[in-house]
């Protein structure tokens, strides 16, 4: 019998599901059991061409609609997503393995927020009037054209919406390629947008591995590429986009610092460290994986952290009591286990976890290492799994320098009850998305994105509009034209 997660077809192009079984089969594996639940096929060159040509053509009429009309469609899609939240959350759990406890509140809901927010903004994307004496200049905020979105596997619904909603609000069309690991959810986003009234061809989804992404990025019909992925992929995609002088947004990886001063509320700081390391089993780009704890409270912090981490419930992700799910794939599990071994070998002190959980599926115990030093591999490389490194520090000046000593710059957090210090420290941290006495909040109203190797551009908020549109300026002369001859 066909599994309920099996989509109608692999791709969604020009307002309908499209299949082409000539492409490479991509098995969809449920991470909690290891069983294959669905199959999709990578896009063939013919499918890539069909998606791009349909999106290029459809964009012209879409951009001519008023912003209010476009916005109404996006807001209708948001309503449909909220109505179907349970069904979409179950699919997200099948796609990623993340527990339903999380997906019910963090995925389709976050996607719906983006559709609603950018739907609301669409009608107010205006230019400026700039007086020049009798003459004037006016500016027009125009769509870029055809945008490509390429997603990572940790938030397949959210990423499809975070890219699609601002792109469509500005009058662009989109071809979205999900990660081959999680191909299911973006198809539902396309289906819902279409049901909400998006014209055929405005939002298309095609499957495939890196080579399909590469074909999209290098196609001359494409005006913009928005990628969520790792730094090495980001460098490749950025370089390929530069060849065609295309706009880019790069949402890449991190190794973010979370700094806890000795005057912080310990339970809140422990909660922040748990949210910033163990949510989605640690598969979150903005995680605060280098937890710097001031020496005075170190042992107290570790004791409370170990106690609360022990409360994680590993189990069936479809059981709403489960609070901690598996790694997305066997491969990702093995990568993370490799880092855990490195942490042990390099002399970090294991506080809890440290091994695969004794159950089917790709589960790793939530793991905390203490006495981690700046040069250890687990403190330098992005692990993308449930492995927290606790480092200690003495002074504010020292911790700022050490926190910034990384190629990454996605996020940073500070816990302290001294608000002058909180702002002073955050002001000096080289990161795009920061938190004071909190960690990993990502409301659609706030800009999200990194500095340094963690990326360029911003998603969400009014900032995202700038990255999915361009400004035309028009000088209007009222009098005669003076010329030299
Ligand atoms: P990858 O970089 O491996 O892949 C990202 C996407 O790019 C996938 O769809 C992938 O396809 C595609 N891709 C790979 N190679 C190319 C290429 N040459 N040209 C075009 N597309 C290509 O990342 P993961 O999927 O493993 O996701 C984890 C990474 O994403 C982590 O580093 C994480 O930090 C980052 N991330 C960043 C976020 C942010 O907002 N800053 C949020 C979430 C994750 P395929 O995999 O199918 O081959």
147-181 pLDDT per residue, tens: 999 999 999 999 999 999 999 999 999 999 999 99
Alpha carbons 44 and 265: distance in angstroms, whole number: 55
Q: Token pair of 36, please?
A: 């294959």
CA of 152 to the centre of ligand 1 (A): 4
Compute the 3-state secondary structure of the chain and give helix, strand, coil in percent, each to the nearest 5: 40, 20, 40
Pocket test for ligand 1, best of 185, 229, 249 (most atoms within 8 A of CB): 229
pLDDT surpassing 90 at residue 61: yes
pLDDT surpassing 90 at residue 396: yes
Q: What is the pLDDT of residue 331?
A: 98
Ligand 1 pocket residue status of 317, Cβ below 6 Å: no
What are the backbone angles phi and psi of residue 324, rounded to the nearest 5°?
Answer: -150, 115
For residues 392 and 374, is the Cβ–Cβ distance under 8 A? no
Residue 411: C-alpha distances to residues 11, 231, 434, 451, 454 (Å):
34, 15, 5, 9, 9
Ligand 1 pocket residue status of 285, Cβ below 6 Å: yes
Residue nearest to atom 19 of ligand 1 (CA): 214
pLDDT surpassing 90 at residue 207: yes
Average pLDDT, the chain: 98
Q: What is the pLDDT of residue 444?
A: 98
Ligand 1 atom at shortest distance from the alpha carbon of 240: 19
28-60 pLDDT per residue, tens: 999 999 999 999 999 999 999 999 999 999 999
Beta-bridge partner residues of 290: 257, 389
Question: What percent of the chain has pLDDT above 90?
Answer: 100
State the average pLDDT over residues 281-294.
98
CA of 251 to the centre of ligand 1 (A): 9
Ligand 1 atom at shortest distance from the alpha carbon of 229: 30
Positions marked active-site? 163, 251, 285, 459
State the average pLDDT over residues 92-98.
98
Question: What percent of the chain has pLDDT above 70?
Answer: 100
pLDDT surpassing 90 at residue 1: no
> Helices in 84-201 by DSSP H: which ranges?
85-96, 100-106, 108-121, 156-169, 185-195
pLDDT surpassing 90 at residue 472: yes
336-392 pLDDT per residue, tens: 999 999 999 999 999 999 999 999 999 999 999 999 999 999 999 999 999 999 999
Q: Which residues of 76-101 are buried (b: 16+ CB within 10 A; e: fewer)?
A: bbbebbbeebeebbbbbbbbbbbbbb
State the average pLDDT over residues 11-22.
98
Pocket test for ligand 1, best of 41, 210, 211, 215 (most atoms within 8 A of CB): 210
CA of 122 to the centre of ligand 1 (A): 29
CA of 158 to the centre of ligand 1 (A): 14
């Amino acid at each position: 019998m066909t599994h309920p997660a099996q989509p109608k077809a692999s791709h969604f192009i020009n307002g309908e599901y499209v299949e082409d079984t000539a492409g490479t089969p991509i098995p969809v594996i449920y991470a909690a059991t290891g069983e294959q639940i669905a199959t999709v096929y990578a896009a063939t060159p013919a499918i890539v061409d069909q998606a791009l040509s349909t999106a290029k053509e459809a964009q012209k009429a879409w951009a001519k609609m008023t912003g209010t009309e476009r916005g109404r469609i996006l807001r209708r899609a948001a309503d449909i997503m909220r109505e179907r939240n349970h069904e979409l959350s179950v699919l997200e759990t099948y796609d990623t393995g993340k527990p339903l406890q999380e997906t019910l509140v963090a995925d389709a809901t976050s996607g719906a927020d983006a559709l609603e927010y950018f739907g609301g903004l669409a009608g107010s994307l205006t230019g400026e009037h700039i007086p020049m004496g009798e003459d004037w200049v006016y500016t027009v905020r125009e769509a870029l054209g055809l945008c490509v979105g390429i997603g990572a596997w940790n938030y397949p619904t959210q990423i499809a919406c975070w890219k699609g909603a601002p792109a469509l609000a500005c009058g662009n069309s989109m071809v979205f390629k999900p990660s081959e690991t999680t191909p299911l959810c973006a198809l539902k986003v396309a289906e819902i947008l279409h049901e909400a009234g998006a014209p055929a061809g405005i939002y298309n989804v095609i499957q495939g591995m890196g080579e399909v992404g590469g074909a999209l990025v290098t196609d001359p019909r494409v005006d913009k590429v928005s990628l969520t992925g790792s730094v090495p992929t980001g460098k490749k995609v950025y370089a390929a986009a530069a060849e065609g002088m295309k706009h880019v947004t790069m949402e890449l990886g991190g190794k973010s610092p979370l700094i806890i001063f000795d005057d912080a509320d310990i339970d809140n700081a422990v909660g922040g460290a748990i949210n910033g390391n163990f949510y989605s089993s640690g598969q979150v780009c903005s995680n605060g994986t280098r937890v710097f704890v001031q020496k005075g409270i170190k042992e107290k912090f570790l004791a409370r952290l170990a106690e609360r981490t022990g409360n994680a419930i590993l189990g069936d992700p479809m059981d709403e009591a489960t609070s901690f799910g598996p790694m997305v794939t066997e491969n990702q599990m093995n990568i993370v286990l490799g880092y855990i071994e490195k942490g042990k070998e390099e002399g970090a002190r294991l506080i809890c976890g440290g091994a695969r959980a004794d159950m089917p599926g790709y589960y790793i115990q939530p793991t905390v290492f203490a006495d981690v030093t700046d040069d250890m591999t687990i403190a330098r490389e992005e692990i993308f799994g449930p492995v927290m490194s606790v480092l200690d520090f003495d002074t504010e000046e020292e911790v700022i320098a050490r926190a910034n000593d990384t190629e990454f710059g996605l996020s940073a957090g500070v816990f302290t009850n001294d608000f002058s210090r909180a702002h002073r420290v955050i002001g000096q941290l080289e990161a795009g998305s920061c938190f004071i006495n909190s960690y990993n909040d990502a409301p659609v109203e706030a800009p999200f994105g990194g500095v340094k190797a963690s990326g360029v551009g911003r998603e969400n908020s009014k900032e995202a509009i700038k990255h999915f549109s361009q400004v035309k300026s028009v000088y209007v002369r009222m009098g005669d034209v003076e010329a030299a001859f």
